[in-house]
Amino acid sequence: MIRTELTKTMTIGLAVSGLVLIGGGAQAALVLHLDAAAPGSNPSSVWEDHSASGYNMSVVGSVTHNAGSQSYTFPGGGSYMEGGISGSESTFDFDTDEAAGAGNGNAITVLAYMTVSGTGAIIGKGTNAGPGWSHIVGNDGSNGYGQQHLVSSEGHSTRMVRRWGPGGPGRIQGVGDGNSHLWVFNIDGTGDIEGTSLFVDGNLSAESDDGVEDNLKGSGLSILNDDELRIANLLGAGDHYAGELGFLEVHSGALPGGLSAADYGAQRWNGGNPSRIPEPGTLALLGLGGLMLLLRRRAK
């Protein structure tokens, strides 16, 4: 169940045309901004991207928009969303550190406010066997798990995967309860397994102890591919995400305000009332002064 009273205030920065101003003149890119509260003019067929990428997603199968709950319902199976009707898939090509040069890998942060009723890739680009990347979620009844997966060669022979949940105490408590939760996946771009993290409802998730982890650093290979971005289905994968998705964002590079993934996740979770980024038109009306006034009020 997606809550309908989500705040429309960005609590930690000013996003303008997909760019978030941070300290020192640096810029962090919001490259995908999908919000079911503002899906666009034809929500049954297209989910419009509010970022500067303009990467709209088309509905495939039986995905439905629910205006009351401000969410899209993904039933699993052959129902998903795919890009390609506008924007460029290359926006979502994120290099490993080895392919881009040591220390120059792309940091990636994916936010998804959703319920989880079926296991599969919530978002991904490429194929299950590689090259490509994906973020996978699932549940085992009342609890759940998450996985980050970067594959740089065919057949999984060179990959980075980190899991949270199955196989021990790392299991993420309560995310299979039918309610919506805020998932924040972060990859720091170093290629190190320890440079990945998952925060659920503002809390760091413990890694799995099932031994299914590999390190991509040192492979010298890239995860780049020419495939379109997909939601709820990864090419070549048999599993498909099922649940209600309220909003989905992809950030490339540093996070707004220069915050860590931990701080960003906690601020967006907002004590159980997750904050949505305002649409570009709303931001233009607010202006910096109006936004800062809202921030000061929220800080009291």
Burial 27-53 (b: 16+ CB within 10 A, else e): ebbbbbbbbbbbbbeebeebbbbbbbb
- Bigger pLDDT: 105 vs 267: 267
For residue 210, the model assigns a pLDDT of 61
For residue 59, the model assigns a pLDDT of 98
Q: How confident is the model at residue 232 (pLDDT cuts 50, 70, 90)?
A: very high
For residue 216, the model assigns a pLDDT of 62
The percent of residues in the chain predicted with pLDDT above 70, rounded, is: 74
The Cα–Cα gap between 152 and 53 comes to 25
Q: Could you tell me the residue ranges of all domains in the chain?
A: 15-291
- Bigger pLDDT: 9 vs 249: 249
For residue 218, the model assigns a pLDDT of 57
pLDDT at residue 242 above 80?
yes
pLDDT at residue 17 above 70?
no
For residue 294, the model assigns a pLDDT of 44
Average pLDDT over residues 162-166: 75
The Cα–Cα gap between 218 and 191 comes to 8
3-state secondary structure of 136: strand
For residue 127, the model assigns a pLDDT of 85
Nearest C-alpha neighbor of 113 from the set 234, 275, 242, 241: 275
For residue 292, the model assigns a pLDDT of 42
The Cα–Cα gap between 61 and 232 comes to 11
Average pLDDT over residues 80-95: 94
The Cα–Cα gap between 142 and 104 comes to 39
Least confident of 16-30, 43-57, 149-163: 16-30
Residue 149 has phi, psi (to 5 degrees) of: -140, 115
For the chain, what is the mean pLDDT?
A: 79
What is the CB-side half-sphere exposure of residue 101 using CA atoms within 13 A? 1
pLDDT at residue 285 above 90?
no
Q: How confident is the model at residue 168 (pLDDT cuts 50, 70, 90)?
A: low
Instruction: Report the alpha-carbon angle 192-195-199, nearest 5.
Output: 145
pLDDT at residue 296 above 60?
no
| Residue 167, both tokens | 């196989």
- Bigger pLDDT: 121 vs 235: 121
Q: What CATH number is given for 15-291 in this structure?
A: 2.60.120.200
Least confident of 23-27, 47-51, 243-247, 283-287: 23-27
Least confident of 59-73, 114-128, 162-176: 162-176
pLDDT at residue 270 above 90?
yes
| Residue 60, both tokens | 């495939």
| Residue 138, both tokens | 């699932």
Does a cis peptide bond (omega within 30 degrees of 0) precede residue 274?
A: no
pLDDT at residue 120 above 50?
yes
For residue 192, the model assigns a pLDDT of 77
Average pLDDT over residues 39-68: 97
For residue 54, the model assigns a pLDDT of 97
Q: Compute the residue count for the chain.
A: 300
The Cα–Cα gap between 150 and 266 comes to 25
- CA-CA-CA-CA dihedral for 92, 232, 138, 209, to nearest 10: -30
pLDDT at residue 248 above 60?
yes
pLDDT at residue 21 above 50?
no
